């Protein structure tokens, strides 16, 4: 087993194990410093971002919505964690020179051509559908996939199976070239 992969990245087993350690330390740190055990997650932050955006446009009345009241619209620990992910990825990719400006990913280009507009529209549509699903299921591959599985939550086993099962099915329909 190689610890380094060809382009200067790390073995996913090694980086994954380190994220496991980070997850443990993070739960202990949030329990100690914030008085409540918090687990790695990302999708709730999108609700908070939507709420804050609506509040900026339409004022405080936008937050009367039941789901926003329940979620508590504020910039919290997880919100900063999600911003931190972007910073961490920027740091890492500039350090090992894997930072690339990319408008259309290769698999997409091969199947649908190099139009970035087309990619943008579908990324947007996919984002809407995925986030409705993630909020309905109360989690994404971070919240359910990592944190829920670590705790042996029943819902996370079911959610991750659905995420991946349907993902495999849809990906095969969308990206596989039909043989003519």
Residues 99-158 within binding reach of other proteins (CB under 8 A): 99-108, 116, 119-158
Determine how many CB atoms are found less than 10 A away from the CB of residue 133.
Answer: 15
| Residue 113 vs 157, nearer CB to other proteins | 157
Q: Which of 128, 127, 105, 107 is nearest to 116 (CA)?
A: 105
Query: CA 12 to CA 20: how far, in whole Å?
Result: 12
- Which residues, 6+ apart, have CB-to-CB distance to 49 below 8 Å? 79
Q: Total residues at the site for other proteins (CB under 8 A)?
A: 136
Least distance between other proteins and beta carbon 62 (Å) = 9
CA 63 to chain CA centroid, Å, is 24
The runs of H, that is alpha helices, within 59-115 are: 66-71, 77-95, 106-112
Least distance between other proteins and beta carbon 6 (Å) = 10
Under DSSP, is residue 116 helix (H, G, I), strand (E, B) or coil?
helix
User: What x-and-dash track marks residues 59-98 binding other proteins by CB under 8 A?
Assistant: ------xxxx--x---xxxxxxxxxxxxxxxxxxx--x-x
Least distance between other proteins and beta carbon 157 (Å) = 7
Q: Which of 58, 113, 115, 162 binds other proteins (CB under 8 A)?
A: 162
Based on the shown chain and the rule CB under 8 A, indicate whether residue 164 belongs to the binding site for other proteins. Answer: yes
Q: Which of 61, 172, 177, 179 binds other proteins (CB under 8 A)?
A: 172
Q: Which of 168, 177, 179, 180 binds other proteins (CB under 8 A)?
A: 168
Q: Which of 13, 34, 131 is nearest to 77 (CA)?
A: 34
Least distance between other proteins and beta carbon 179 (Å) = 15
- 167-170 contacts, C-beta under 8 A, 24 or more apart: none
Based on the shown chain and the rule CB under 8 A, indicate whether residue 10 belongs to the binding site for other proteins. Answer: yes
Based on the shown chain and the rule CB under 8 A, indicate whether residue 58 belongs to the binding site for other proteins. Answer: no
């Amino acid at each position: 087993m190689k610890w380094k992969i060809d382009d200067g990245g790390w073995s996913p087993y090694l980086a994954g194990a380190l994220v496991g350690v980070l997850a443990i330390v993070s739960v202990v740190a949030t329990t100690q410093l914030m008085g409540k055990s918090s687990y790695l997650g990302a999708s709730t932050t999108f609700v908070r971002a939507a709420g804050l955006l609506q509040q900026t446009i339409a004022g405080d009345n936008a937050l009367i919505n039941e789901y926003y009241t329940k979620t508590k619209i504020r910039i919290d620990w997880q919100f900063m964690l999600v911003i931190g992910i972007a910073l961490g990825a920027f740091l890492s990719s500039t350090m090992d020179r894997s930072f690339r400006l990319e408008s259309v990913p290769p698999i997409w280009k091969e199947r649908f051509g190099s139009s970035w507009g087309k990619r943008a529209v579908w990324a947007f549509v996919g984002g809407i559908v995925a986030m409705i699903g993630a909020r309905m299921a109360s989690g994404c591959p971070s919240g359910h996939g990592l944190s829920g599985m670590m705790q042996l939550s029943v819902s996370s086993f079911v959610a991750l199976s659905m995420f991946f099962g349907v993902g495999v099915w849809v990906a095969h329909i969308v990206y596989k070239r039909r043989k003519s």
